Structure 1
Amino acid sequence: MTTLVLIAKETLPGKVKTRLTPALTPEQAAELAAACIGDTLAATATLPATRRILAFDGTRVPAGAETFEVLHQVGGTLDQRLGAIFDEVDGPLVLIGMDTPQLDHDDLAPAFDSWPEGVDAWFGPATDGGFWALGMNALSVDQLRGTTRGDLIRGVPMSQDDTGRRQLERLVNAGLNVTMLPELTDVDTIADAHEVAEIAPHGSFAATLAGFRQLTAAGPARFSR
Structure 2
Amino acid sequence: MRGGVLVTAKAPVAGRAKTRLAGVAGPDGAAGLAAAALLDTLEAAGTAFPEGRRVLALDGDLGEACRSEEIVAAIRGWAVVPQAGGSFGERLAQAHRAAHRLVGGPVVQVGMDTPQVRGAELRLLVDVAVRHGGPVLGPALDGGWWVLVTTDPRQAAVLTGVPMSRPDTGRLTAAALAAAGHPAVTAATVRDVDLPEDAEAVAALAPGSRFAAAWRAVVDARSAAPSGRA
Instruction: Provide TM-score, normalisation by structure 2.
Output: 0.84
Q: Aligned equivalents of 1:201 and 1:180: distance in 2?
A: 27
Distance 1:166 1:24 in 2: 32
Matched, 1:77 2:87: yes
Q: Is this contact kept in 1: 2:140–2:190, CA < 8 A?
A: yes
Count residues with an aligned counterpart.
210
Identity of paired residues, percent? 36
Name structure 1 gaps, 5 residues minimum. 140-147, 219-225
- Select which of 157, 170, 176 maps to 1:151: 157
* Aligned mates of 2:182, 2:161 — CA distance in 1: 18
Contact 2:135 2:185 in 1 (8 A): yes
Higher helix share: 2
**Residue 152 and residue 75 in structure 1: after superposition, are their counterparts in 2 closer, same or farther (change >3 A)?**
closer
Determine the structure 2 residue equivalent to 1:57.
Answer: 59
Displacement over 4 Å in runs of 4+:
none
Asked if 1:45 corresponds to 2:46, the answer is yes
Instruction: Map Cα deviations across residues 25-57 of structure 1 (whole Å, 9 max, x no partner).
Output: 100000010000111112222213551100001
2:169 corresponds in structure 1 to 163
**How does 1:2-41 map onto structure 2 within 5 Å?**
2-41=3-42
CA RMSD, aligned part only?
2.0
1:88 maps onto 2:94 in alignment: no
- Is the CA contact 1:172–1:178 (under 8 Å) kept in the aligned structure 2? yes
Over 3 Å counting, the alpha-carbon distance change for 1:198 and 1:118 in structure 2 is: closer
Deviations 1:188-212 (A, max 9, x none): 0111100101111111111111112
CA distance in 2, matches of 1:167, 1:114: 18
CA–CA distance in structure 2, aligned partners of residues 168 and 115 of structure 1 = 15
Aligned mates of 1:31, 1:199 — CA distance in 2: 19
1:214 to 209, 218, 221: 221
> For 1:132, what is the secondary structure of its paired residue?
strand
Structure 1 match to 2:187: 181
Check conservation: 1:119, 1:179, Cα contact below 8 A: no
Distance 1:183 1:114 in 2: 15
Q: Which residue is 2:228 aligned to?
A: none
- Once residues 17 and 97 of structure 1 are traced to their aligned partners in structure 2, the CA distance between those partners, rounded to angstroms, is 12
Alpha-carbon separation, structure 2, partners of 1:106 and 1:180: 17
Give how far 1:124 is off: 1.2
